[in-house]
Amino acid sequence: MTANMRGFGFTYAGEDSRVLTDVDLELPAGSMTAVLGPVGSGTSTLSRALAGLLETRGTTTGRVDVTGTVGFLGDDPEAQLSGLTSRVADETQLACRLRGIAPAAAEARAHDVLANLGIDDLWNRRLDTLSGGQRQLVALSRIASLDPDLLILDQPSQSLDPDMRRRLAGLLRENCERGGSALITGHRIDELTVACDEVRFLRAGDGLAQESADGVRLAQSARAQGVWDTRPEHAAQSRSASMTGSQSSASTTADPVLSTTAAAEPPRADPVLSVRSLSVHRADRTVLDGVDVDLHPGELTTLTGANGAGKSTLLRGLIGLLGRSGDCTGTVTMSRLGEGTNLLDMPAHARSAHLGWVGQDPGIQLSAATVRSELMHAAPLPRHRRRERTQVLDDRRRIVDSVLHEVDLAAVDEEHPFDLDGPRRKDLVIASALITGADVLLLDEPTIGRDQAGMNRLTAIIDRVLRRGGAVLATTHDPRWAAESSHRRLHLADGRVHSR
């Protein structure tokens, strides 16, 4: 099996500038390679070009040569679930069955892949009961069960916990030892990318930079290229080295020390929100078992935990979005509402006046034709008489203008939300929550898909919320962000929350 690019360039139809220019890349058999770059640099385009998915999308130059079979997982793996099955067992066998592989062999292959990832206990689970990371792994398992010669994975680790990223690295290494190869593309350094034989960097419109060494030098290269490094120890060493060494201005300013919370903890005030004995039961499973959490004004609390531990379920239970998929009990009170009011007794639309929820998939929370219109309609207008309508609308426009500048979306206010990249769509949903004036923000994996600039924007947005006395609870699989940015770190395991 061989795969390589020679002088490859690509321009999307209708665009004037090239996304990729003069890219040379070789993926020899037995190798794992990572190609990283900031959002917009063309990493996803590169992965799709190698997978043969761009032939009708624009104009190419140079050559792409691939021999052997290719398995491709895009940056939205949930979209690659077939929609033809409802259970993990059927989904993971589907590709093999469609290729004519015998039922017994298809089942054996699916079991092997799930076992190698440590998720064989999901075999009989329904897809709609899985976490985002688990669904991502199921989509990957269906592709990997075909044992392709080349596996191309675009941002495969963005919804995975650190242990699962290591397991995935092990699965890819086993494939390489059998003569296959793997390409990882994305915007960050993590446990998966450091397991690669080569890490190379891509700048928008340019070719690939030379590969970097391990450890601190890799961290320094990531900073210089605008790539986020999730490893707390290497990021700290890299900053120290760049402050004392002769780094370029680009590398020393691309990654400022995160400025939120952990550096200056505010005085502890009474909780703005208190959760007591929160439990969620689904069918025969107890997902959450007596969770107690206090959120204080001016504080960011991060919540970590393995894929499927129940982090998203906790946030959805608080905002009232479990529907029929879970029975939620307990007491959730807010200081604004008084101790006698339990938010769990309120419908979701009433809770949204006090809790701003931003889910993992921002697309399901967006509906307007422009960014500005999305914010104009983010919350009902206050009650008013008809003759006051002009003044009320003017007041809302001023609020929207202010929020647009706060979240750095003013320059794209007339763009369609789905023309934004994933992180900026999530910033837009956060902005919508700010319009409501909610006291608490519930952020589900807000760091997904972000490069260095995106992480800086997220930190700045949360800073503003906290300075106004708000509280933020964020789930995350990013150990560096949790370590550097949060006042309190919690961990969810076995249905209970523990302090870290």
Q: Is the pLDDT of residue 495 over 80?
A: yes
Tell me the two tokens of residue 343.
């938010």
Per DSSP, 492 falls in state: E
| Mean pLDDT calculated for residue range 435-459 | 95
* CA dist., res. 344 & res. 314, Å (int): 12
Q: Which one, of 430, 451, 402, lies nearest residue 204 by Cα?
A: 451
Lowest mean pLDDT among 3-17, 194-208, 283-297, 340-354: 194-208
Q: Which one, of 102, 116, 183, lies nearest residue 148 by Cα?
A: 183
How buried is 147 (Cβ within 10 angstroms: 0-12 exposed, 13-18 middle, 19+ buried)? middle
Q: Residues 347-370: pLDDT tens digits?
A: 999 999 899 999 998 889 999 999
pTM: 0.90
The sign of the CA dihedral 201, 238, 298, 360 is positive
Evaluate whether 24 touches 208 at the Cβ level (below 8 Å): yes
pLDDT in the model for residue 278: 96
User: What does 279-321 look like in DSSP terms, one character per residue?
Assistant: EEEETTEEEEEEEEEEE-TT-EEEEE--TTSSHHHHHHHHHT-
Q: Is the pLDDT of residue 255 over 70?
A: no
3-state secondary structure of 345: helix
Phi-psi region of 327 (alpha: psi -120 to 50; beta: other; left: phi over 0): beta
Please identify which residue in the block is written with the tokens 């699989």: 477
* CA dist., res. 133 & res. 311, Å (int): 11
Q: Which one, of 36, 451, 39, 53, lies nearest residue 208 by Cα?
A: 36
Sketch out the chain's domains with CATH numbers: 3-253 (3.40.50.300), 261-499 (3.40.50.300)
